[in-house]
Copies of this chain bind each other. A is one copy, B any other.
């Protein structure tokens, strides 16, 4: 069963529908599927307002002053947790960090009981990260009316705030999505980052989406409707306006037939200065981090003029502020 099938199998209402109120306001953020161009544009516009000029202090507001945000991370993460924590604190929320590792769940802890417990403590926003598909939506289906769920990374299925920060970064550097060729390079099969970025990019209407990987790491045929699946980095980079390198899990390298070792991976799919010349002259290079320098990306590129990797991080906090603000407003208006 492919990831998409698994994902749909649990759902009567799709996650895409589940995340909206009857009148179309954002209630949870589980996936970028179902968010239309106008909605995404609105979120990115709002996120822009949370950026400050270089050297200026971070933008802050009182919007979430009486709101409690719980970071419910069943899978460890320093970077995403820090980004959500700062976004929430800069909106004046109370933040509760809960590092619940999956072993705790094996000890017999029921995920809904954990959720009901936090809900009963009046935690208002659940930022959920989990290694299993379907967990954020499962929680959203069972939550009460005064709680909102944000997906902070779900198996290889979805990472919608990462998708939004990628869109924001592209828009800030390219102005518009129309006509863009975007090349995503790496372990597409296992990448929630690729999935969410692709969903967003298709909605925004780019010209061409290329997914470049070794054969063994290519996606299932139906997972990325409209994308071109490719296995040659050179072909894939040719004329690309945006190049997104994905982190390859070290434990995956060389682990399966058809998956190359580190050196071979870098030789075949690593983005280096030379290869980048195949892309458009003003191409930008992205990476969700943390980078494996010398594996999926060379330092000459990561630190070079085309790199917008640091902007992605800054935009990540801004996008999360915009999302937090929007779902909390939906909840309060209900």
Contacts and interface: CB of A to CB of B under 8 A. Distances in A.
Interface string A192-233: 000000000000000000000000000000000000000000
Interface residues of A, number: 51
Interface in A284-319: 289-293, 310-311, 313-314, 316-317
A16 to B, nearest CB: 26
B82 A86 contact: no
Contacts of A317: 121-122
Contacts of A123: 86
A250 interface: yes
Interface stretch (A31-39, A103-111, A238-246, A275-283): A103-111
Nearest to A287: B113
Contacts of A117: 79, 289-290, 310, 313
One complex includes copies of this chain to the number of 3
Contact of A146 (B55, B67, B86): B55
Given A55-B145, A66-B60, A98 B120 contact: no
Contact of A100 (B57, B78, B107, B146): B78
B313 A121 contact: yes
Interface stretch (A18-26, A88-96, A131-139, A181-189): A88-96
A95 B291 CA distance: 25
Given A85-B96, A96-B82, A98-B82, A250 B110 contact: no
22 contacts: A55-B145, A57-B67, A57-B122, A58-B122, A60-B66, A78-B104, A82-B98, A83-B121, A86-B96, A86-B121, A108-B250, A108-B290, A108-B292, A110-B291, A113-B289, A113-B291, A113-B293, A114-B290, A117-B289, A120-B310, A121-B313, A122-B314
